[in-house]
Structure 1
Amino acid sequence: MKCCSICRVKRQASVRGKSTVNILLEGAAWNFINIRRTAKQHNLPSEASFRFSRGVHPAMAEGGVSLGLKYMAEWAGGAVALDLVDAYPLPPKDAVVEITVNDVKRWLGIDLTLEEISNLLSRLEFKSTITNNQLQVTSPNHRMDIGEGVVGVADVLEEVARSYGYDNIPTTTMADALPPQVGNPIHEWEEHLRDLLVALGLQEVVSYRMTSPEKESRITHYDEYVRLANPIAPEKSVLRRSLVASVIDSLEKNIRYSEAFSFFEIGSVFVPHKNELPDEPRKLAIAMTGLREATAWDVKDSPTLDFFDLKGRIELMLSGLRLTNITYTATSSYSHLHPGKAAEVKAGGQVIGAFGEMHPLVKEQYELGDSPVLVAEFDLDIMRAISPTYGIKTIPETPSMYEDIAVIVDESVKAETVEALIRQTGGRSVTNVRLFDLYRDEKIGEGKKSLAYALTYQAEDKTMTDADAAAIRNKIVKRLEKELGSKLRS
Structure 2
Amino acid sequence: MPTGSDCAPLQRAQMRWRWSAGPPTLPRDKRSALPRVGAYLYNAHSRRQETLAAASIRGVESQGMICSELELGLGEDHTGIIVLPEDAPLGEPLSDYLGDTILDLELTPNRLDCLSMLGVAHEVAALTGGKVREPEIQYAESGPPVGERVSISIAHPDLCHRYTATVIDGVRIGPSPQWLQDRLTRAGLRPISNVVDVTNFVMLEYNQPLHAFDLDTVKEATVIVRRAGPGEKLTTLDGVDRDLTTDNLVIADANDPIGLGGVIGGANSEIGSYTSTVLLESANFNASNNRETATSMGLRTEATLRFEKGLRPELAPMALRRATALIQEVAGGTVAPGFIDVYPEPPDSPPTVTLTTRRLKQSLGMDVGLEQAQSALDLLGFACTTTPDSLVVTIPWWRNDVNIEDDLVEEVIRVIGYDAVPTVMLSTPIPFHSRTQAITLRDDIKDLLVAGGMQEIINYPLASSELLERIGLNDSAAPAMRIANPMSSTHEFLRPTLQAGLLTILAANQSNGTGPFRLFEAGRVFLPRSGDLPDEAETVAGVLAGRRGGVSWLADPGSDGDMDFYDAKGIVELLLDRWDIGASWELGEHPVYQPGRCAVVKSGSTVLGYVGEIHPSIKERFDLNSGGVAGFELDLRALLSALPESERRFESLPRFPVATRDLALVLPVDVPAGRVTELILRNRLIQRAELFDIYSGDNLAPGTKSLAFHVHLQAADRTLTNEEVDKSVDGLLRNLEREVGATLRSQG
Aligned residue for 1:417, secondary structure, equals helix
Specify the structure having the higher radius of gyration (Cα).
Answer: 2
Aligned residue for 2:639, secondary structure, equals helix
Provide the residue aligned with 2:679 in structure 1: 421
Provide the residue aligned with 1:487 in structure 2: 744
1:472 corresponds to 2:724 = no
Provide the residue aligned with 1:212 in structure 2: 464
Provide the residue aligned with 1:188 in structure 2: 440
Aligned residue for 1:280, secondary structure, equals strand
Provide the residue aligned with 1:350 in structure 2: 606
| 1:202–1:263 CA contact under 8 A, matched in 2 | yes
| 1:219–1:245 CA contact under 8 A, matched in 2 | no
545, 549, 564: which one pairs with 1:293? 549
TM-score computed with the length of structure 1 as normaliser? 0.60
Q: CA deviation at 1:260?
A: 1.6
| 1:406–1:450 CA contact under 8 A, matched in 2 | no
Q: CA deviation at 1:335?
A: 2.7
CA distance in 2, matches of 1:198, 1:252: 21
570, 573, 576: which one pairs with 1:312? 570
CA distance in 1, matches of 2:635, 2:611: 12
Aligned residue for 2:518, secondary structure, equals strand
Q: CA deviation at 1:313?
A: 0.9
623, 628, 652: which one pairs with 1:395? 652
1:374 corresponds to 2:630 = yes
CA gap of 1:323–1:395, structure 2 versus 1, over 3 A, is closer
CA gap of 1:452–1:362, structure 2 versus 1, over 3 A, is same
| Residues 77-124 of structure 1 deviation map (CA, whole Å, 9 limit, x = unaligned) | xxxxxx9x999976999xxxxxxxxxxxxxxxxxxxxxxxxxxxxxxx
Aligned residue for 1:277, secondary structure, equals coil
CA gap of 1:343–1:395, structure 2 versus 1, over 3 A, is same
1:339 corresponds to 2:595 = yes
CA distance in 2, matches of 1:310, 1:468: 39
| 1:404–1:452 CA contact under 8 A, matched in 2 | no
CA distance in 1, matches of 2:461, 2:696: 46
Amino acid at match of 2:511: R
Amino acid at match of 2:482: R
Q: CA deviation at 1:305?
A: 0.6
Q: CA deviation at 1:293?
A: 0.6
| 1:399–1:463 CA contact under 8 A, matched in 2 | yes
CA gap of 1:488–1:191, structure 2 versus 1, over 3 A, is same
| 2:545–2:630 CA contact under 8 A, matched in 1 | yes
Structure holding more helix per residue: 1
CA distance in 1, matches of 2:592, 2:700: 34
CA distance in 2, matches of 1:269, 1:342: 21
Q: CA deviation at 1:175?
A: 12
Provide the residue aligned with 1:433 in structure 2: 689
CA gap of 1:273–1:457, structure 2 versus 1, over 3 A, is closer
CA distance in 2, matches of 1:192, 1:444: 48
CA distance in 2, matches of 1:324, 1:272: 29
TM-score computed with the length of structure 2 as normaliser? 0.41
Aligned residue for 1:310, secondary structure, equals helix
Amino acid at match of 2:472: I
**Can you give the 5+ residue segments of structure 1 that lack an aligned partner in the other structure?**
1-5, 9-22, 29-82, 94-148, 155-173
479, 483, 490: which one pairs with 1:228? 483
Provide the residue aligned with 2:392 in structure 1: none
CA distance in 2, matches of 1:369, 1:487: 44
Amino acid at match of 2:708: A
1:460 corresponds to 2:711 = no
Q: CA deviation at 1:323?
A: 4.2
Amino acid at match of 1:207: N
| 2:483–2:494 CA contact under 8 A, matched in 1 | yes
CA distance in 1, matches of 2:625, 2:542: 18
Q: CA deviation at 1:204?
A: 1.2
1:282 corresponds to 2:533 = no
CA gap of 1:401–1:243, structure 2 versus 1, over 3 A, is same
CA distance in 1, matches of 2:102, 2:659: 94
CA distance in 2, matches of 1:7, 1:445: 103
CA distance in 1, matches of 2:104, 2:564: 71
Amino acid at match of 1:485: A
Which moved further from structure 2: 282-291 or 440-449? 440-449
658, 664, 669: which one pairs with 1:411? 669
Q: CA deviation at 1:279?
A: 2.1
CA distance in 2, matches of 1:467, 1:263: 51
Q: CA deviation at 1:369?
A: 0.8
508, 512, 536: which one pairs with 1:253? 508
Amino acid at match of 2:648: G
CA gap of 1:485–1:275, structure 2 versus 1, over 3 A, is closer
| Residues 120-148 of structure 1 deviation map (CA, whole Å, 9 limit, x = unaligned) | xxxxxxxxxxxxxxxxxxxxxxxxxxxxx
| Residues 182-224 of structure 1 deviation map (CA, whole Å, 9 limit, x = unaligned) | 2231333211111111111111111122113332233333533
